[in-house]
Amino acid sequence: MLLIQDTIISPEVLEEAFQCDLSACKGICCVEGESGAPVEKEEVIRLEEVLPLVWDDLSSEAKKVIEKQGVVYVDRDGEYVTSIVEGKDCVFTCYDENDNCLCAIEKAFRERKTDFYKPVSCHLYPVRVAHYKGFRAVNYHRWSVCEAARILGKKNNVKVYQFLREPLIRKFGKEWYEELEKTVKGEG
């Protein structure tokens, strides 16, 4: 375990190879799973604000779910998560011409329609952040659907924390990430 400020980082985040390979996985992480993506309380408003901008990219099934229960629901752990369609797709999924599953919010961000990238938990995946009294834990979530990402990461010698540089800075700040890098390199 590594401690950076008030955050404990599991060794897998530092040691495991990982680099998303959308051409291989087709974005299945936005489709498979037991529930929607974790959403921070303050992100619920952002999801509602961005909804009109992405509405036309959503499936008719997703639109029905959103109209019935909203953009999020509370899961069995009492956490906010994105609403899902028929126990699978996040309501914010859309598909490109190659049948890759994409995030409609990220698509709108890239098209400069919004400054909201997507929920930070999605941006951080395959890392999950757990909150405890007095500290946070950053854990690597190993999932079989990401095998292609592990292969590509190994081929390119990219570790989880390196692949997730941008979202880790978004979540914890630049100073935190720089301290992480220095510590991993033995400079801290």
pLDDT digits (tens, 9 = 90+) for 19-69: 998 888 878 777 777 788 999 999 999 999 999 999 999 999 999 999 999
Question: Is residue 173 a part of any domain in this protein?
Answer: yes
SS3 call for 9: strand
Global pTM value: 0.89
Domain endpoint, select from 66, 94, 117 = 117
Distance CA 20, CA 26 (A): 10
Q: Are 91 and 136 contained in the same domain?
A: no
Question: Is residue 25 a part of any domain in this protein?
Answer: no
Q: Are 79 and 109 contained in the same domain?
A: yes
Query: Greater confidence, 23 or 71?
Result: 71
Q: Are 37 and 103 contained in the same domain?
A: yes
Question: Is residue 11 a part of any domain in this protein?
Answer: yes
Query: Greater confidence, 187 or 119?
Result: 119
Domain endpoint, select from 87, 117, 147 = 117
Cα 100–34–146 angle (5° rounding)? Answer: 45
Q: Are 99 and 137 contained in the same domain?
A: no
Name 103's Cβ contacts closer than 8 Å, sequence gap at least 6.
30, 90, 92, 93, 94, 118, 122
CB 145 within 8 A of CB 32: yes
Report whether pLDDT(74) > 80: yes
**Which residue range forms the structural domain that includes residue 111?**
31-117
Question: Is residue 178 a part of any domain in this protein?
Answer: yes
Q: Are 113 and 133 contained in the same domain?
A: no
Count of domains for the chain = 2
Give residue 88's pLDDT band: very low, low, confident or very high (50, 70, 90). confident
Report whether pLDDT(10) > 80: yes
pLDDT score of 77:
86
Name 86's Cβ contacts closer than 8 Å, sequence gap at least 6.
61
Q: Are 97 and 53 contained in the same domain?
A: yes
pLDDT score of 32:
77
Name 12's Cβ contacts closer than 8 Å, sequence gap at least 6.
139, 140, 142, 160
Measured between its terminal Cα atoms, the distance across the chain in Å is 15
For the record, the structure tokens of 60 come out as 């008719």
Question: Is residue 110 a part of any domain in this protein?
Answer: yes
Q: Which of 143, 184, 142, 145 is nearest to 162 (CA)?
A: 184
Question: Is residue 73 a part of any domain in this protein?
Answer: yes
Domain endpoint, select from 117, 141, 157 = 117
Question: Is residue 104 a part of any domain in this protein?
Answer: yes
Q: Are 42 and 104 contained in the same domain?
A: yes
Q: Are 92 and 140 contained in the same domain?
A: no
Q: Are 39 and 109 contained in the same domain?
A: yes
Cα 159–38–67 angle (5° rounding)? Answer: 140
Q: Are 78 and 101 contained in the same domain?
A: yes
SS3 call for 116: coil
Distance CA 149, CA 24 (A): 8
For the beta carbon of residue 56, count every other beta carbon within 10 angstroms.
9
Q: Indicate the length of the chain as a whole number.
A: 188
Question: Is residue 36 a part of any domain in this protein?
Answer: yes
pLDDT score of 59:
95
pLDDT digits (tens, 9 = 90+) for 122-162: 999 999 998 889 899 999 998 888 899 999 999 999 999 99
Q: Are 58 and 104 contained in the same domain?
A: yes
pLDDT digits (tens, 9 = 90+) for 96-130: 998 888 999 999 999 999 999 999 999 999 999 98
